[in-house]
Amino acid sequence: MLPEMPNRLFLVIAALVMALLACSIDLGGDDEADDPDADTPATPPTVTIISPQNMAQFPVNQRIDIVVETSADATLLQLLNPDPIGTLSISGANVSEAGTKTATLNWKPERQGTYQLQVIASTGELSSDPIPLTLIIGDSSVVPGSGSTVVPGGDPASTTTCVGTVVIASLNFRSEPNTDNDPLGKFAQNEVVTITGRTVSGDWYQVRRPNGDTGWGASSRSGNVYIQADATCIANLPPVDVG
């Protein structure tokens, strides 16, 4: 039979065991506090569109370069309309001294119209907020990246006409800029027209349709836009004397 352990020795051993357990708990807590992943929340990348400008106009069937700037952690870019129409890996792109990356997305529209695009930057499972970009695609006379078209044989640098998009259904096509005449027909929604003039008030646009017909269409009424066009281009058009 083993001799009975003295009470004092038993108490000393028990105290040592409890002290060791307490140290283990404290050490575990310190390790968790020092873990950088535990204290630093993940943030999504950012993206900014450098060019082209919103509402810029381009001819159909021409490649458009969309230049963007992202935060350094971005690894993928997406162009949507609204579904993805282009992706670009930028994981190996150079980072500037400002801590950003610059990249170019390419898109070649095959039809005329107004396109509501979006650009998104991603890294892993995190994505930026979508950045909108509206582009107007017209016929081959459109000056790329501008809000204007040129008359054949004219100076390509001069603004002589504008490109507009009919954004409502059943807009009347008229021979004069008023409602005192019978409509010649109706515009199709999303029809792209060439704006050759305007009234002094800007409430009516003189237009040339894709089939060559010329006439007038109401640009807006009561704050509602009927024909969407670049405001700067419209302002540069001389008003038409309608008598």
Cα dist from 137 to 108, 178, 226, whole Å: 10, 28, 17
pLDDT at site 156: 36
Contacts by 81-88 with C-beta closer than 8 Å and gap 24+?
81/115, 81/116, 81/117, 81/118, 82/116, 82/118
- Please give the pLDDT value at position 83: 82
The pLDDT confidence band at residue 98, using thresholds 50, 70 and 90, is confident
Looking at domain 162-236, its CATH superfamily turns out to be: SH3 Domains (2.30.30.40)
Mean pLDDT of the chain: 80
CA distance 95 to 70: 10
Dist CA 194 CA 176 (whole Å): 16
Query: Phi, psi at residue 172, to the nearest 5°?
Result: -75, 140
CATH number attached to the domain at 47-138: 2.60.40.10
- 47-138 and 162-236 agree in CATH topology: no
Least Cα distance to 49 among 64, 34, 28, 32 occurs for 64
Tell whether the model's pLDDT for residue 32 goes beyond 80: no
Report pTM: 0.53
The β-bridge partners of 220 are 225
What confidence score (pLDDT) does residue 148 get?
Answer: 46
Q: How is the chain split into domains, by residue range?
A: 47-138, 162-236
Mean pLDDT over 218-238 rounds to: 87
